[in-house]
Amino acid sequence: MEKSREAFRTISEVAEWLDVPTHVLRFWESRFSQIKPVKRAGGRRYYRPSDMRVIGGVKTLLHDQGMTIRGVQKLFREQGIRHVSTFSPHLFGHDAEALDDQVIEHEPQPAEPEPIQPSPAARSTRDAEPAPLADEPAPAEDPAAPAAEPEGVVFI
């Protein structure tokens, strides 16, 4: 008996559909926050048709079109989850276009944080004379010169 097209799929079923190992799907979940399967007791993952379309789009972009993970992440940020989902293969022989309305929109991810600018005080110390590098040898001492006595110390 075949599942309906709205039925949730296990990670094994999705992996078989995309012809990738299950650990790859778990890895993609760690790299793409847009992939959010339902997790049940014991940590079992169940993928909705909308999740499958997102994963299918990611697989097509990474494996078939040769994009990098960062490239797909950028595509998610700039074009959105619906755009990435359009690259998905048909779901188990069903018309993929019929499921377009089921794609769940997730909140857009914040862009990379801006680099922290140093404070004006830190910038002014940067313009001062640089400290000697650890690799530079210490000034040579004259071995014939008498050793300097520390102040406040009296030798008897």
pLDDT at 131: 55
Q: What is the mean pLDDT of residues 83-91?
A: 89
Q: What's the structural domain count of the chain?
A: 1
CATH code assigned at 28: 1.10.1660.10
Whether pLDDT at 24 is above 80? yes
3-class secondary structure, 68: coil
Amino acid at 53: R
119 compared with 24, residue with greater pLDDT: 24
Nearest to 32 by CA among 59, 65, 14: 59
The helix (run of H) or strand (run of E) holding residue 9 is: strand 9-10
Looking at the domain assignment, is residue 46 inside a domain?
yes
Looking at the domain assignment, is residue 148 inside a domain?
no
Full-model pTM: 0.58
Give the domain extent around 90: 9-97
Looking at the domain assignment, is residue 135 inside a domain?
no
What are the tokens at 54? 């997102």
Looking at the domain assignment, is residue 64 inside a domain?
yes
70 compared with 95, residue with greater pLDDT: 70
Looking at the domain assignment, is residue 57 inside a domain?
yes
